[in-house]
């Protein structure tokens, strides 16, 4: 059962925050959906935005500036949380593991396994709930920032039947070779690195590619470039001859100032491919 927590008018549409009891994550989960004004007259396509480390559904909803662009192009946008939360949910003192850092995988190791099933939550449970509860058609795109960019890329490449467009902002591009990845993948999936490759965008792209083109924006002054490893993904795109655009944006860092600057480009890009 879904419960609406809040609803606000925005650019002629509706910004909704809702919560529900998640079977996948075995706890209550909160998410947000923006419905453009066109949704008053019928079903619209939807863009999924996956957030990065430490974020909840609220960060991109309030700082990303997506609503105006979505209203212009007639596309809904979903902002899920980044992890399970609540009493009894495992956590860690570090900001990059545990609550706020679900990494969009299905954990197989304790203490994470009972709740940290974010891959299933995003690709199945919340996906189905959004289609059921809102005027959404079967055209889905996916994007995300940092850890969420990692999630968007890996989820789309593993589920090409569910997503028709793909982009990312400053994704963790090669987590099996980064401290932002090796730490989380070993904690959630164990020390057998053969289980990690299904959650590495660079490796997935080399092996499978993507059915369409990909848009990636990366700030050239990003303070986390050594952890994100954008050069691994751009090189894989070249080797694969993958259609797409990998744009290094001069002067931009890792913040939501960067995301909000290029949010309009990404929404327009997805809207064109989902129309």
Catalytic residue annotation: 146, 222, 254
Give φ, ψ of 249 to 5 degrees. Answer: -100, 110
SS (H, E, C) the chain: CEEEEEEEEECCEEEEEEEEEECCCCEEEEEEEEECHHHHCCCEEEEEEECCCCCCCHHHHHHCCHHHHHHHHCCEEEEECCCCCCCCCCCCCCCCCECCECCCCECCCCCCCCCCEHHHHHHHHHHHHHHHHCCEEEEEEEEEECHHHHHHHHHHHHCCCCCCEEEEECCCCCHHHCHHHHHHHHHHHCCCHHHCHHHCHHHHHHHHCCCCCEEEEEECCCCCHHHHCHHHHHHHHHHHCCCEEEEEECCCCCCHHHHHHHHHHHHHHHHHHHC
Distance CA 157, CA 223 (A): 27
Tell me the backbone φ, ψ of residue 76, rounded to 5 degrees.
-80, 160
Which residue in this structure is represented by tokens 């690195």? Answer: 193
Beta bridge partners of 249: 219
Phi and psi at residue 55, to the nearest 5°: -80, 160
């Amino acid at each position: 059962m879904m419960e609406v927590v809040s609803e606000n008018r925005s650019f002629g549409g509706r910004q909704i925050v809702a919560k529900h009891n998640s079977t996948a994550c075995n706890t209550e989960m909160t998410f947000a959906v923006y419905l453009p004004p066109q949704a008053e007259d019928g079903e619209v396509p939807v863009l999924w935005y996956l957030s990065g480390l430490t974020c909840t559904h609220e960060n991109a909803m309030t700082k990303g500036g997506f609503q105006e662009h979505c209203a212009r192009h007639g596309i809904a946008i979903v902002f899920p949380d980044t992890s399970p939360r609540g009493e009894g949910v495992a956590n860690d003192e570090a900001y990059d593991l545990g609550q706020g850092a679900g990494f969009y995988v299905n954990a197989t190791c304790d203490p994470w396994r009972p709740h940290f099933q974010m891959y299933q939550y995003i690709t199945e449970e919340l996906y189905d709930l959004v289609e059921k509860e809102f005027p959404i058609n079967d055209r889905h795109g996916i994007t995300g920032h940092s850890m969420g960019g990692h999630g968007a890329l890996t989820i789309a490449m593993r589920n090409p039947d569910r997503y028709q467009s793909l982009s990312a902002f400053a994704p963790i591009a090669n987590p099996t070779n980064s401290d932002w990845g090796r730490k989380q993948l070993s904690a959630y999936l164990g020390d057998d690195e053969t289980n990690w490759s299904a959650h590495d965008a660079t490796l997935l792209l080399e092996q499978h590619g993507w059915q369409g083109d990909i848009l990636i924006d990366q700030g050239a002054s990003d303070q986390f470039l050594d952890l994100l490893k954008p050069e691994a993904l751009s090189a894989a795109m070249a080797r694969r001859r993958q259609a797409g655009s990998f744009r290094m944006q001069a002067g931009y860092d890792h913040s939501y100032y960067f995301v909000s600057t290029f949010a309009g480009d990404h929404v327009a890009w997805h809207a064109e491919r989902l129309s």
